[in-house]
Amino acid sequence: MSSSAANPRTLFRKVWDAHVVAEGRDAPSLLYVDLHLVHEVTSPQAFDALRAAGRPVRRPDLTVATMDHNVPTLDGPITDPLARDQLEALRRNCDEFGVRLFGTGSGREGIVHVIGPELGLTQPGLTIVCGDSHTSTHGAFGALAFGIGTSEVGHVLATQTLPQVRPQTMEVRFEGDLPFGLTAKDMVLAAIGQLGVSGGRGHVVEYTGAAVRALSMEGRMTVCNMSIEAGARAGMVAADDTTFAYLEGRPGAPQGAEWEQALDEWRALRTDDGASYDDSVVVDVTTLKPQVTWGTNPGMVLPVDGVVPDPGDYDDPEQREAVERALRYMDLAPGTPLVDVRIDKVFIGSCTNARIEDLRTAASVVAGKRVAAGVQAIVVPGSARVKHQAEEEGLHEVFESAGFEWRRAGCSMCLGMNPDILQPGERCASTSNRNFEGRQGAGGRTHLLSPAMAAAAALTGHFTDVRELG
């Protein structure tokens, strides 16, 4: 296999080129979609539009739906009538249009970005879309995956394509070996801190470097998941043996001779030597420390041994004002060490960090210890399968005997569309991906960190370098 092709291309470009149905001159290109993931929140208006126009779903065989954003994580029926109506609308729409639904109680339901990979539908080289910005998660498999709006959901349902202007490419190279005790979440938070929340705008990012190759699929998904938090359209990691080992034997993955053929194709899906990116950024992880956000966007992030910044240190008036606003919202004083910041709640969950490896890591931190007095800590597995597997491994008992609540799968407190929300003024250590104002509940204050760091904060009641826990 030669990687020094005459016309060297990036991984992104290979996947893009293979999916162009029609090249655009004055118009955007028409891009074919291999997998369309659907959930209850961003789809009802799209199905309504299909119905109104009398259009069918073009490829129900390439479409799959789940229930995640709205579902309660405690046992018992849904009490919120609006949430119930929205979930019922999805069930009705899937029935009517012949779309496969993994609904609540199916045993396969879960956060849309957890179940796609789990089912083996997320595969190298595919184009994947979903009415959800964290669709970038699926790029961990070397797929081109990006979030779309509801009108586009309707467009894909009706045509299996999307008009798209080809994005730029950016390489984010993680250099060096990740120190012991650090995780993919620390890597991606540090990268966003460096790039800023709009540094990736208009770009598809490819993550490269030894530290990325060393990550498990779960870790790669965590990194790609947060691409959108740097403003990027998508994130990708070239597939390798780690990818193939994860995929082999999963329900949607190719079998037998088709598997062998797929492997040949997938191995060629990497950036050729000599191919160039429109932009390149290097993130050195050699001396990386656990990361914690202090502000109201994911780029406002510091190592855990840092102190809350002083607006006066910023020359740019716009930045100064943004920092002032963030500190006011977060109720933090400049100069406060992050380790002195006390928390009220801990949320271990979301499509960023609620896969089995995340739960194992957090469980290993809390095993035999107790959640600090006054702290409410919950663990929400990313899917029904993750929950099941964790229970087989006894992780739920580890969490529960440490004082954590063990919940049913869903998006939960990542965005608080279900009853799991922060009260005004409450401060939360969260493994999710967004610390925007009110994200987890109006007036709530969110600090993003890794599952290990969230577990450590639960035990001490304040941010703590997990590596220093006795």
Partner 1 sequence: MRPLPSVTGSVAVLDRADVDTDQIIPKQFLKRIERTGYGEFLFFDWMKDPDFELHRYPGASILVSGPNFGCGSSREHAAWALEDFGFDVVIAPSFGDIFRTNAVNTGLAPIALPAEQIAQLREAVDAVNELTVDLERLEITSTSGLRIPFELDAHTQETLVHGLDDIARTLMREAEIDAYEATHTARFDTRALPA
User: Which one of residues 15, 414, 422, 449 is an interface residue with ligand SF4 (CB under 6 A)?
Assistant: 414
Count of residues touching ligand SF4 (by CB under 6 A): 13
Regarding 42 and contact with partner 1 (CB under 8 A), the answer is yes
CB of 393 to partner 1, least distance (A): 23
DSSP secondary structure string for all residues of 16-55? HHTTEEE--SSSPEEEE-SEEEE-TTTSHHHHHHHHHHTP
Q: Quick one: tokens of 299?
A: 């780029």
Dist CA 384 CA 67 (whole Å): 11
Q: What is the Cα 266 distance to its own chain's centre?
A: 23
Per-residue contact track with partner 1, 337 to 376, x per CB under 8 A? ----------------------------------------
CB of 176 to ligand SF4, least distance (A): 29
Between 36 and 113, name the residue whose CB sits nearer to ligand SF4.
Answer: 113
Regarding 268 and contact with partner 1 (CB under 8 A), the answer is no
Q: Does the CA dihedral 192-196-198-199 come out positive or negative?
A: negative
The residue range among 250-258, 259-267, 289-297, 409-417 that interacts with ligand SF4, by the rule CB under 6 A, is: 409-417
Regarding 134 and contact with ligand SF4 (CB under 6 A), the answer is yes
Regarding 45 and contact with partner 1 (CB under 8 A), the answer is yes
At 205 the three-state DSSP class reads: strand
Q: Which of residues 275-294 bind partner 1 (CB under 8 A)?
A: none
Regarding 387 and contact with ligand SF4 (CB under 6 A), the answer is no
Dist CA 57 CA 34 (whole Å): 14
Regarding 351 and contact with ligand SF4 (CB under 6 A), the answer is yes
* Among the listed residues 368, 362, 366, the one whose alpha carbon sits nearest the alpha carbon of residue 381: 362
From start to end of 220-364, where are the E strands? Answer: 234-236, 279-284, 291-293, 301-303, 345-348
The residue range among 146-154, 342-350, 373-381, 383-391 that interacts with partner 1, by the rule CB under 8 A, is: 146-154
Q: Which of residues 242-261 bind partner 1 (CB under 8 A)?
A: 251-252, 254
Residue 383 neighbours by CB under 8 Å, 6+ apart: 108, 109, 110, 111, 114, 115, 118, 354, 409
CB of 29 to ligand SF4, least distance (A): 27
Q: Does the CA dihedral 179-452-373-448 come out positive or negative?
A: positive
User: Which one of residues 3, 79, 198, 423 is an interface residue with partner 1 (CB under 8 A)?
Assistant: 198
Question: Which residues lie near ligand SF4 (CB under 6 A)?
Answer: 68-69, 111, 113, 132, 134, 350-351, 411, 414-415, 432-433
